[in-house]
Amino acid sequence: MDNYRESNMNWEYKTLKVSARGGFLGGKFDEKSLDTRLNELGDQRWELVSAFATHQGYGQSRDVAVILKREKR
């Protein structure tokens, strides 16, 4: 029965873009801010699927993209 349920699940997806701060072309990433936002979304049943940064170089990022999913009701 579990396999049947899993194969018939419908998902909805959310993309969250978090901008780095500290410079015109990018800056340092504030992980505490993202932790707070992800915990808020987790309370709404969103699950992290993937995350990636758009690197500028020298340890700086422009944006971080986060992909989340949750089961449609």
Is pTM, for the whole model, over 0.95? Answer: no
Per residue in 33-68, is it b (16+ CB within 10 Å) or e — as a string?
Answer: eeeeebeebeeeebeeeeeeeeeeeeebbbbbebeb
**pLDDT digits (tens), the chain, 73 positions:** 455 555 678 999 999 988 877 665 556 777 888 899 999 999 999 999 999 877 766 666 678 889 999 999 8
Q: CA distances (Å), 18 to each of 3, 4, 8, 51, in order?
A: 35, 36, 32, 10
